[in-house]
A and B are shown apart, each in its own frame.
Chain A
Amino acid sequence: MALTESDVTRIARLARLHLQENETASLQTELNEVMHLIEQLQSINTDGIEPLAHPLSAIADVGLRLRDDEALPTNDEQRRDQLMQNAPARDAGVFLVPRVIE
């Protein structure tokens, strides 16, 4: 099943990727080449086979570990600023984004 141009637009929207209008057609071709490769999977009989999410569960029961729910010390202001140093826009310990509520 081939992806249409509107599929590509919808996927880009879901993936939060802005597309230039002239990009849609070439992306459609590329993504369909990939889908063509992926379609090979449909020919394999996997009846009764459990999906494998964690590779080591091929040999053992793997459960995700939970840590104890304990309170850790809060970062001081200096560490906070250090942790936020890569933010494109910040002010007094908050990340700045465009206005969302008028």
Chain B
Amino acid sequence: MSRFLDDFPTIAAYRAGLDQGQFSVTQATDALLSDIQTHRALNAFVDTDAKRSLAQATEAQAQLATEQSHSLTGVPLAHKDIFVTEGWRTTAGSRMLANYVSPFDATVVAALNKAGTVSLGKVSCDEFAMGSGNEHALTGPVLNPWDHDVVPGGSSGGSAAAVAARLVLGATGTDTGGSVRQPAALCGICGIKPTYGVASRFGMIAYASSLDQAGVMATNADDLALLLDAISGYDSRDATSVQTCHGAANAPGRILGEYNALGQQYAGDKPLAGLRIGIPKEYFGDGLNTDVARVIEAALTQFEALGATRVEISLPNTAYAIPAYYVIAPAEASSNLARFDGVRYGHRTNQYNDLQDMTERSRAEGFGDEVRKRIMIGTYVLSHGYYDAYYLQAQRVRRLIAQGFQTAFADQCDVIMGPVSPTVAPAIGSVSNDATAEWLGDIYTLSVNLAGLPGLSIPCGFAPGHKGQDLPVGLQLIGNYFDEGRLLAVAKQFQQVTDWHERRPGVAA
């Protein structure tokens, strides 16, 4: 079945169609809302509102003719249901917030609205962004458009599935431990998480504040650059938002400027000559599926053909990223989620004896198992007598992990590459009952959040899934602080000589 975006697969193609009068924003929005209905089996969208989307479309159409017109005006997007949005429900995938409607927009959403994008709705995520398969969501699992039996990844699984199914041109996501990069990889699309502090966390429902960062997903480097540039910028309402990035103001224009400048520079048949790619040996160990390893290896060879050189590096504390993350993230989650007390907003139980009982029962009913588990771990590692042994030790290990990257970037390499995930998308419901099994798949993404570095995932091939079916593999590109523009420019060179990013799932209706 044909989809509207089959004919206009990129922002550039879509805008060309608009500018040439092939369709109006309203016509596109109508067609896409109908595509979303056709593909509702994916379970990617948790809230659509045709009236709101069409109102935005009308505004965007008017904006196109004015000086306020932006490269993103009229572009159809979906927002992860963890960004608060005025007028739309925001549930964070949780029963706790099942009926929550925010009185304001998240800064990231407001920036995209201002640019004239059209929101086609809110997309599913793991509860409070805790999960790697979008299986811990209030509205049930999201299906991977490549194969409905496998997960789309998580926690931004709805975002990835919507982009992969070509129901929107881009989507917002959040990445605390890989939640943009991993679903992008598992769904065969692109996703980037910028340096910590580049995008505002204001209005992004908090999971682990020192790790959470907004990101974007789309089908190619050009589109990611446009979207990321638009959501970047200093925000006084986020205490950890950065004002400058190596001396340049943290504002729209910085990332796109660098991206375009490098695009000019990277010319000839060896455009990446001089670029040193660090290959961490720890990212190619025993846990990596051999088929995935083969696909990653082929992509690296392609980068060599573009002129880049490979350097073996070591990130010695990679394995400890998992325990360090699962101390720090739950600790911060236990603190952040303390706000849900059944008083000011969120679920309140019907039956209780007193105030404390009301809080305890409201929280027990409102939170799912994974969230409850992480809150309890966090509470324990922060409790008197254990704080030093667990929390401070994890933060010391965090510094060692960050230092490992800095050693590599200081004189060995310019960018780091490796797999995003050790396997392709697993079958829905296949992760074992062990409380930590699902977490081990995050090994290549967690360190990037612990260090606060930018990370990008791009599709680079296919490997067999549990039934032998072809499923997408993602290549991870890790940059030094504030190197978003370079990561994207390097990815673009790869996309100019390959077509993995153009591969589309033939989604059954």
Which A positions have Cβ atoms within 8 angstroms of B? 3, 7-8, 11-12, 14-19, 27, 29-31, 33-42, 44, 46, 49-56, 58-59, 64-65, 67, 82-89, 95, 97-98, 100
Contact = CB atoms under 8 A, between A and B. Distances in A.
Contact of A33 (B345, B395, B396, B434): B434
Interface in B327-385: 327, 334, 338, 341-348, 352, 354-361, 363-364, 367, 372-373, 375-381, 383
Contacts of A53: 210, 395
Interface in B238-270: 239-240, 242
Given A67-B236, A89-B348, A11 B379 contact: yes
Contact of B373 (A31, A49, A89): A31
B452 A46 contact: no
Interface of B: 99-101, 103, 195-197, 210-211, 236, 239-240, 242, 317, 319-320, 322-324, 326-327, 334, 338, 341-348, 352, 354-361, 363-364, 367, 372-373, 375-381, 383, 389-390, 392-400, 402-403, 406, 434-436, 439, 449-453, 481
B377 A18 contact: no
14 contacts: A7-B380, A16-B363, A29-B435, A34-B326, A38-B327, A41-B320, A41-B323, A46-B396, A51-B392, A52-B398, A55-B196, A55-B211, A98-B352, A98-B355
Given A87-B345, A88-B346, 5 more contacts: A17-B367, A33-B435, A34-B373, A56-B197, A88-B348
Main secondary structure of the interface of B (DSSP, over half): helix
Contact of B436 (A14, A34, A51): A34
B392 A86 contact: no
Nearest to B383: A14
A20 to B, nearest CB: 8
Nearest to A3: B380
A11 B240 CA distance: 30
Contacts of B347: 88
A36 B347 CA distance: 33
B383 A42 contact: no
A46 B213 CA distance: 27
